[in-house]
Structure 1
Amino acid sequence: MGKLFDRLTLKEDPNVYQDKDSHLKQVLTVKDFLALGVGTIVSTSIFTLPGVVAAQHAGPAVALSFLVAAVVAGLVAFAYAEMASTMPFAGSAYSWINVIFGEFFGWVAGWALLAEYFIAVAFVASGLSANLQGLLQPLGFALPKQLAGAFGSNGGMIDLIAAVVVILVALLLSHGVSEAARVENVLVVLKVLAILVFVFVGMTALKAANYVPFIPAYHQNADGSAFGGWQGIYAGVSSIFLSYIGFDSIAANSAEAKNPKKTMPRGILGSLVIAVVLFVSVSLVLVGMFKYTSYANNAEPVGWALRQSGHGTIASVVQAVAVVGMFTALIGMMLAGSRLLYSFGRDGMLPKWLGKLNHNDLPNHALLLLSIVGIVLGAVFPFAFLAQLVSAGTLIAFMFVSLGMYALRPREGKDLPIPSFKMPFYPVLPTIAFLGAFLVFWGLGKDAKLYALFWFIFGVILYFSYGIRHSYLAKNQRSDNGENK
């Protein structure tokens, strides 16, 4: 038993990761990471979830749900910023936990993140598709039902638009990070401008009566979930937490950062601050324009609210830019997800072809697998179901990273460098960050937690049947032991 525990807690040498990732080109600056973070965080969810969560859980207090979620995300982001500054490796939490807790725990954290990226690609693509179809329908363009939605959703067989956009982003990323970053920077500026236009135009249509009561009385929905009161705000936090997961996508690309000690903390924390301001602004304006019940089952509430208030042309412009801007989230998620898959292959934990770079030093094998899985998930599962599943995997990784601070600090200045940014109020804040992430996870729907459990069990089986036997870390240790003898 002792030998098994020693095997599971076998830690990777950080110098090995530094060497393996040295082939990736370090080209990304603070500006690129801010664009990547804002582009990924401020994605499909800002144009969809404020209305949906207001109608289902929180009423006008949906802005409080976004604020509470931002506080939890901010606490975890402090830990992410310090870890990314200390260990700028591809794979973010997977690689960090490998170094500080050991291989098995790194696998669990990475496996949870892998679920996030697989599902997030499908989720963002589905949201983009819904908004694009809403934009084109007034022009008389409509896909056949079979091609307009996920399997079993309003007669749908496959969401064709979602599949096409995933393929287009994969083609862009396959040509390099620099090219993708340039596209990302332009699209993020356009998207933020579209959000600001909505906020300022929407403010002209606000009605004070729509904010009363700001926190509706509590009752249970037909499905057993909470509406109103602090319970409804809490349920809203769990539903919209996925809105803030974009800073993880920044950390996953830290091996491609210029001067990561400074670049990573600024990119992670800066993008989160910008995102919070935008989310809360959109939420307050949206529920002020129309009573929150108007947004029930509405996948494109921003465009709908503008059209209903007599701003049809502006609605079309905002929604068109929003749809184009959603590509930024796909770029961020697919960039980060492919680097995570590459990291698994790099370490031998999944088939080694995933860890191979092409002649341009790009992990395009990993990108191909991510694209295929994202298309399949988007074709099978509807938009609302994907939303909570994204949060489940992310929150598990967030809990690992928060606790990881207690293993990281004693090694800084020894076998790990001293970072330029340190999480404040150590050792108290890591515990608060862990508890915050745990409470948000606990508030997820039963289905999301159940599927997270199934994914975890599948991951453990895969680790013991494949990863533990093919791990390069274990092979190197056996080789070293042989040489020592």
Structure 2
Amino acid sequence: MTTLLKRMLRKEDPSVYEVKDAHLVRTLRVRDFLSLGVGTIVSTTIFTLPGAVAAEHAGPAVILSFLGAAVVAGLVAFAYAEMASAMPFAGSAYSWINVIFGEFFGWVAGWALLAEYFIAVAFVGSGLSANFRGLIAPLGLKLPNSLANPLGNNGGVIDLVSAIVILLVALLLSRGVTEAARVENILVVAKVLAIILFIIVGATAIRLQNYVPFIPKYHLNPDGSAFGGWQGIYAGVSMIFLAYIGFDSIAANSAEAVEPQKTMPRGILGSLLIAVVLFVAVALVLVGMFKYTEYAHNAEPVGWALRQSGHGIVASVVQAIAVIGMFTALIGMMLAGSRLIYSFGRDGLLPKWLGQVNDKNLPNHALVVITIVAIIVGSIFPFDELSQLISAGTLIAFMFVSLGIYGLRRREGKDIVNDGFKMPLYPVLPFLGFLGSLIVFNGLSKAAKLYAGGWFLFGLLVYFFYGLRHSYLNKNNGV
């Protein structure tokens, strides 16, 4: 038992990761990370979640849910910024926790994030598909139910649009990070302009009575979840939190950052700040245009609200740019997810071929895996069951990273050099980041927690029956 624990808790030498990741070319700058961050955070969710959360949980107070989630995300983002500055390795939380707390805890944090990337790619693909179908519907074009919906949902077999766009993004990423970043930068600008256009035009259709009552009276929904009161706002925070988790996708690519001590903190914190402003503005306008109950079970509320208020042309323009812009989230998520899978293969916790790179130093084996899994997930799970499942795994990783700051500070100046960003108000803010993540996790649905528990049980089986036996860390230490 003692030997087993020693093997599980062995910590990777940070200098080893520097060597292992040396073949990944450092080409990404602050503007690239801002685009990656904004493109990933401001994804499908900005066009879907404000309406869904308002209708299901918070009413007009959805704005408070967005702000509450932003506070927690901001606390964790500070921890991420310091970690990425001190340890700019591929794999983000997985690699950091492996260094700070040991291999087993690194695996748990990384496995949690892997659920995020698998499901988030499918989630964004589903949202893109819904908006695309809403865009072409006025033209009299409609896909048959078998090709428009996930398996078993309204006669669906596969969401064909989602599968195609995921494949297209995979092909782009297989050509290299530089090309993907160039496309990302252009599309992010277009998407932000589309969001601003919606805010300006939608503001002309606001009716103040739609904000009353701002916090509806509390009651339970038929499914047992909370609506109205502070309980509804809290339920909204847990559902909305997935909107802000995209900054992890920045950190996952820190091994490819130019001057990571500067670029990583600026990219992480800057993109989150921009995203919060855009999310709150969209939510404020959307719930002011129509009563929140109108957005129930609506997968594309932004386009719907514009059309219903007589701005059909603007709706088409916004949705067309939004659909194209959703590629940015897929680029960010698939890029980060492939780097995480590569990190597992790099360390032997998953088959070593996943940690191999091609002649252009790209981990395309890992890219193939996330592409296939995301398409399968998107073909099985309907849109409205995916959102909270993303948050569950990510929040667990966020708790690890927040607590990891304490271990990092004890080693800075010793085997870890950090002459870059430091989290302010230490040691208070790391604890608040952990506590906030725990509170948000507690507010997730029972189904989300159940699925998360099943995912971690599967992860433990993989670790003990494969990862522990094939780990390069333990082999190199002669155990």
The aligned residue for residue 114 of structure 1 is: 114
User: How many angstroms apart in 2 are the aligned matches of 1:61 and 1:465?
Assistant: 47
The aligned residue for residue 4 of structure 2 is: 4
What is the SS of the residue equivalent to 1:424? Answer: coil
Q: CA deviation at 1:8?
A: 1.1
Q: CA deviation at 1:4?
A: 2.1
Q: CA deviation at 1:5?
A: 1.9
User: How many angstroms apart in 1 are the aligned matches of 2:419 and 2:351?
Assistant: 33
Q: Is the 8 A contact 1:151 1:380 kept in 2?
A: yes
Q: CA deviation at 1:305?
A: 0.4
User: How many angstroms apart in 2 are the aligned matches of 1:368 and 1:326?
Assistant: 20
User: How many angstroms apart in 1 are the aligned matches of 2:457 and 2:401?
Assistant: 21
User: How many angstroms apart in 2 are the aligned matches of 1:478 and 1:4?
Assistant: 13
The aligned residue for residue 279 of structure 1 is: 279
Q: Does 1:254 align with 2:248?
A: no
The aligned residue for residue 482 of structure 1 is: none
The aligned residue for residue 483 of structure 1 is: none
Structure 2: gaps (5+ residues): none
Q: Does 1:315 align with 2:315?
A: yes
**What do residues 218-238 of structure 1 show as CA deviations (whole Å, max 9, x unaligned)?**
000000000000000000001
Q: Does 1:136 align with 2:121?
A: no
The aligned residue for residue 358 of structure 1 is: 358
Q: Does 1:373 align with 2:407?
A: no
Structural mapping, 1:62-461, within 5 Å: 62-461=62-461
User: How many angstroms apart in 2 are the aligned matches of 1:292 and 1:463?
Assistant: 45
**For residue 78 of structure 2, what is the amino acid of its counterpart?**
F
User: How many angstroms apart in 2 are the aligned matches of 1:351 and 1:331?
Assistant: 24
Q: CA deviation at 1:467?
A: 0.3
**What do residues 214-270 of structure 1 show as CA deviations (whole Å, max 9, x unaligned)?**
001100000000000000000000111000011000000000000000000000000
**For residue 39 of structure 1, what is the amino acid of its counterpart?**
G
**For residue 90 of structure 1, what is the amino acid of its counterpart?**
A
Q: CA deviation at 1:418?
A: 1.9
**What do residues 368-389 of structure 1 show as CA deviations (whole Å, max 9, x unaligned)?**
0000000000000011111110
**For residue 171 of structure 2, what is the amino acid of its counterpart?**
L
What is the SS of the residue equivalent to 1:205? Answer: coil
What is the SS of the residue equivalent to 1:214? Answer: coil
User: How many angstroms apart in 1 are the aligned matches of 2:429 and 2:243?
Assistant: 22
**For residue 99 of structure 2, what is the amino acid of its counterpart?**
V
User: How many angstroms apart in 1 are the aligned matches of 2:224 and 2:447?
Assistant: 13
User: How many angstroms apart in 2 are the aligned matches of 1:246 and 1:224?
Assistant: 29
User: How many angstroms apart in 2 are the aligned matches of 1:419 and 1:217?
Assistant: 51
Q: CA deviation at 1:419?
A: 3.6
The aligned residue for residue 39 of structure 1 is: 39
User: How many angstroms apart in 1 are the aligned matches of 2:203 and 2:161?
Assistant: 32
What is the SS of the residue equivalent to 1:111? Answer: helix
Q: Is the 8 A contact 1:82 1:419 kept in 2?
A: no
User: How many angstroms apart in 1 are the aligned matches of 2:46 and 2:54?
Assistant: 13
User: How many angstroms apart in 1 are the aligned matches of 2:357 and 2:311?
Assistant: 49
Q: CA deviation at 1:30?
A: 0.2
Q: CA deviation at 1:448?
A: 0.5
**For residue 317 of structure 1, what is the amino acid of its counterpart?**
V
Q: Is the 8 A contact 1:121 1:330 kept in 2?
A: yes
Identity of aligned residues (%): 75
Q: Is the 8 A contact 1:9 1:104 kept in 2?
A: yes
80 and 419 in structure 1: CA distance in 2 versus 1, 3 angstrom threshold: farther
User: How many angstroms apart in 2 are the aligned matches of 1:422 and 1:191?
Assistant: 32
**For residue 417 of structure 2, what is the amino acid of its counterpart?**
P
Q: CA deviation at 1:152?
A: 1.5
Q: Is the 8 A contact 1:184 1:331 kept in 2?
A: yes
TM-score normalised by L of structure 1 = 0.98
- The CA RMSD over aligned residues, in Å, is 0.6
User: How many angstroms apart in 2 are the aligned matches of 1:153 and 1:362?
Assistant: 37
User: How many angstroms apart in 2 are the aligned matches of 1:251 and 1:195?
Assistant: 25
User: How many angstroms apart in 2 are the aligned matches of 1:419 and 1:336?
Assistant: 25
User: How many angstroms apart in 1 are the aligned matches of 2:24 and 2:365?
Assistant: 15
Structural mapping, 1:460-479, within 5 Å: 460-478=460-478
User: How many angstroms apart in 2 are the aligned matches of 1:67 and 1:416?
Assistant: 34
The aligned residue for residue 58 of structure 1 is: 58
User: How many angstroms apart in 2 are the aligned matches of 1:99 and 1:428?
Assistant: 22
User: How many angstroms apart in 1 are the aligned matches of 2:440 and 2:206?
Assistant: 31
Q: Is the 8 A contact 1:61 1:214 kept in 2?
A: yes
Q: CA deviation at 1:2?
A: 2.6
Q: CA deviation at 1:3?
A: 2.3
User: How many angstroms apart in 1 are the aligned matches of 2:169 and 2:359?
Assistant: 20
